[in-house]
Amino acid sequence: MPARAGKAAMPPYQRHQLVSSDLIRRLQRGEWKIGEKFPTVDGLLPDYEFSRGTVFKGIQQLVDEGYLAVRKSVGTFVVRTESRKNIGLLMNDAYLRPQQTPFPYVLGQKIMTSLEEGGFCATRYLELPGQEFEGLLNIEHFASDLQNRRLSGIVMANCNFGFLMKRSQLWQKYAVPYVTVNPCGESSCCVAYDYAELLRLAFQYFSSQGRRKIALFCGDSFVPLLDELRSSFPHLEFRPEWIFPLSLKPSPEENGFHLMSRLWMQEDKPDALFVADDIAMKGVVQAVLRMNLVIPRELSLIHAANSDTNVFYPLAMPRIEYDTNQTVQEAIGLLLRSMSRTEPENLKKMIVPVFREADNEALELKIAL
């Protein structure tokens, strides 16, 4: 039995983390083997001069890090004894609603799974409303884990911290290797989506359909690209009143519905519409059906989509897709290269979209209904 681990004999970190760190050392020394039943909280209390709740949190941290597994009505068992590097995934909680924003939700799930399969301990951090972190954001447990050097790296996807981290004194002092996705701020290591190619494919499709008057529902990052593409599509017309910004509020779907309704109230109407979000396109389609527009005769539609999000549309429409699996693979690959420090600091991967033809099954289903 190891010596009692007490407050005075241990560094002044959070107490449950001291318990978990000591338990990990005991696992690595072979005190418990893989497959063995792990002691209960009461069984470990004599070893630590902390409360029952503190010891429980220490054990729970080992469960979270994959050392232990809880079997309901049976007990807690050892499943791993070797240490694993801890990689964090930071996302904004607004993007974790699968019905509202399926792509970020699927992306986050796949990143977590890929990290676990790669032998890492994956920890999710969420940007939440409320108390601020470093005067900027509220990210529960993030500051503590940075200060205690529990993180070996972090993936930032669909979050705001990447735009603010250079202003964070805590990040400047305890920064770890990181990669941003789509991108989140001025990152030297990022996976980005090729929006210029996305628009080029959309305009190429409209041109092939004989369309000339183009409307766009998109984010601010798309607007500067229009000037770059005008020379390649001089016959296309982009009017300011046909360009609307997308928003998450009240929801992408409602936003798409209202924007489409406003667009079609204009006296001079476009003959083509590009939508930069798959859920916003659901709202656009609802408005189209309500107004009894004939697609694509009256309006040609195309939108940006993502693989593996399974968004259903009652109209057969072409789409331009980004590959979710490629995004995850590139992000983790860049992070590992950054962690190894064998590559230059500035690492960037561009995800190129692919044009997909209209799904005729959607049209057939609509007719059947």
CATH code at 15-78: 1.10.10.10
- The total of other beta-carbon atoms located within 10 Å of residue 4's CB is 10
**CATH fold for domain 195-320+355-368:** Rossmann fold (3.40.50)
Q: What is the DSSP-derived secondary structure letter of residue 111? A: H
Q: Say whether pLDDT at 327 is over 50.
A: yes
Q: In the block, which residue shows the tokens 């993180």? A: 151
Res. 2: pLDDT tops 50: no
Residue 365 reports pLDDT greater than 60? no
Confidence of residue 10 (pLDDT cuts 50, 70, 90): very low
Domains 15-78 and 195-320+355-368 share a fold: no
pLDDT in tens, 82-114: 777 889 999 988 777 777 778 888 899 999 999
> Is the pLDDT assigned to residue 360 strictly greater than 70?
no
186 vs 30: which has the higher pLDDT? 30
- pLDDT at position 367, please? 35
Q: Which fold has domain 86-187?
A: Rossmann fold (3.40.50)
237 vs 132: which has the higher pLDDT? 237
* Whole-angstrom distance, CA of residue 188 vs CA of residue 180: 9
Question: Per-domain residue ranges for the chain?
Answer: 15-78, 86-187, 195-320+355-368
Which burial class, exposed, middle or buried, applies to 340 when counting CB atoms under 10 A from its CB (0-12, 13-18, 19+)?
A: exposed
At residue 361, does pLDDT exceed 50? no
Return the amino acid letter for 355: F
Q: Check residue 364 and give its pLDDT.
A: 38
pLDDT score for 130: 61
Per-residue pLDDT tens over the stretch 254-263 = 999 999 999 9
Q: How many CA atoms lie within 13 A of 38 on its CB side?
A: 24
pLDDT of 182 > 60? The answer is yes
Which two structure tokens, joined as six digits, stand for 249?
Answer: 């509020």
pLDDT band at 133 (very low <50, low <70, confident <90, very high): low
Predicted confidence (pLDDT) per residue in 183-200, tens digit: 777 777 899 999 999 999
Average pLDDT, the chain: 85
> Which pLDDT tens digit goes with each residue over 291-325?
999 989 999 999 998 867 667 788 888 999 999 99
pLDDT at 346 over 80: no
Q: How many Cβ atoms sit within 10 Å of the Cβ of residue 20?
A: 23
> Tell me, what's the pLDDT at 362?
44
pLDDT at 66: 79
